[in-house]
Chain A
Amino acid sequence: MLQVDGLSVRYGAVEALQGVSFQARDGEVTAVLGANGAGKTTLLRALSGLVRCRAGSATLDGTGLIGRQPEAIVRMGVAHVPEGRGVIPELTVEENLRLGALVRLRRSERRDAIDGIYDVFAPLRARRRRPASSLSGGERQMLAIGRAIVAKPTLLLLDEPSLGLAPTVVAHTMELLRTLSGRDGLSIVLVEQNVRSALSVASWALVLNLGRIVVADRPERVNEDADLRRHFLGF
């Protein structure tokens, strides 16, 4: 379980996060919603060690994350699919997956783990030796998520996975996230602007506005609250 308490991040004069607190339970998708510039990406980057926090704490199953380097946080079982997916286009599909498997798996475990990803995402198997730059948007998404889960993380951070994808692919992705959290007990923090899709799979929803959590509630309640949607989510 991820437990976040009073997390604050500042970029110069910009207070990107101010005292953010929440929990993300194992086996559940926690949706983080909010308009542009609300601080969603900053929250994920703070959790994976890419930006330094001014105050607050975050623990994964009791172990502190804040203050550690990203390289160390990955080793603790945190996988982060960044904004834009972070597929390395110059590397082949298989090399991207190998890179994901490298630090947390023993040499002998990697082959099986990568084959397991090909079982879930069959189109990737056919393209394993092609550079990732040759993939379609949907396939890149598969690769990004496959690379994040190949080493069996305990916490998966996803930054706007639906961006730029066709509606059917988005639906597919959300279905997959539901499966991953339900079956593997993975805790998923899902940052989305695609509110409907995110709420459809989430067990808990947070709404960020100007760096603060303004709503933390069950997804149905967020969906029903027209004022809230108009105010903070813009629809």
Chain B
Amino acid sequence: MGLFLNTVLNGVSEGMVFAAIALGLVLVNRATGIVNFSQGAMGMMTTFVAYSLLSGGIGYWPAFVVALAAGFFLGAAVELIFIRPLQGKSPLNPVIVTIGLLVVLEGIAGSIWGVTSRGFPPAFSQRGLRIGSTRVAFSTFDLFIVAAVIVLMAVMIAVFRWTDVGLRMRGAAFSPEVARLLGVRVGRMFTLGWALAATAGALAGLLAAPISSFGPYYMDLNLVYGFTAAVLGGLLSPVGALVGGLVTGLCISLVGGYLGGNLEPLGALALLLAVLMARPQGLFGSAKARRI
């Protein structure tokens, strides 16, 4: 019972990190209709920015905020410099560019900060909470992960549904030409979509770093799981990303806990195949496969 409970709790907090990555993937896909393979690497970069600040004696929360802001600008810059010029041609081209970007960002991080893994401090204690007389594998930091990602998703949904800028972003994504005819600056909305996605990626990076072996490559496996989560959720829906993250987290945690840690990626793959065979559009995707 104790093992099961702890495995589940562990799956929840890991799953929420995958959900944060998936939310970023969903934002980019909604805005520009492509899959961003550099989503994890951008979060790694901004987490290294926070790491440098922390090493320089700056407090955790200022570094946290700077990392999120760095994500915002990094995302906007990537869209403007690498994605925009390729738009209108084959949709595969920008996707390949994001793969290139992943390699380049990891190379840059490796040459600045070195390739060895190191520790990264958590926002809160990572000691398991006490329930009655037993300690469970769920800490204050895990609680923070869950809360932060739920807030992220809620903010995303609220912005899309209730704000003018959210309406502009959706209009631009669904029908760019019609949106232009209504006066929406469509290019700006695409840039904003990428900026927000990279901000979500920065959050994911900060949340993942203390529970992974932090280094230039620590987001690679997280991206694979985040990608699994996003596809499970249909790649378009914020709620889908969150649920997809939880399902993925639970699945790999159970596989890891009961069958062995080496099988975790295989477990994610099996999950992905099983869901996609039953529902090719993902758990939350609509059958029309439109960008929603």
Show the binding face of A for B, using Cβ within 8 Å.
Answer: 48, 50, 69-71, 74-75, 80, 82, 86, 88-91, 95, 98-100, 102-104, 147
Contacts and interface: CB of A to CB of B under 8 A. Distances in A.
Contacts of B290: 90
A104 B182 CA distance: 9
B177 A50 contact: yes
A59 B167 CA distance: 31
A125 B179 CA distance: 22
Contacts, number: 61
B183 A90 contact: no
A69 B174 CA distance: 20
B182 A91 contact: no
Contacts of A90: 170, 174, 290-292
Given A71-B185, A99-B184, A86 B167 contact: no
B170 A91 contact: yes
Contact of A74 (B171, B177, B181): B181
Interface in B149-174: 164, 167-168, 170-171, 174
B178 interface: yes
Contacts of B177: 50, 82, 86
A82 B182 contact: no
B180 interface: yes
A70 to B, nearest CB: 4
A69 B183 CA distance: 9
A48 B181 CA distance: 8
A69 B178 CA distance: 13
18 contacts: A48-B181, A50-B177, A50-B181, A71-B183, A71-B185, A75-B183, A88-B171, A88-B179, A89-B174, A90-B170, A90-B290, A90-B292, A98-B164, A99-B179, A99-B184, A102-B164, A102-B182, A102-B183
A82 B183 contact: no
Contacts of A95: 167, 170
B178 A88 contact: yes
A91 B181 CA distance: 16
Nearest to B180: A70
B87 interface: no
Contacts of A103: 182-184
Contacts of B291: 90
Contacts of A88: 171, 174-175, 178-179
A164 B206 CA distance: 54
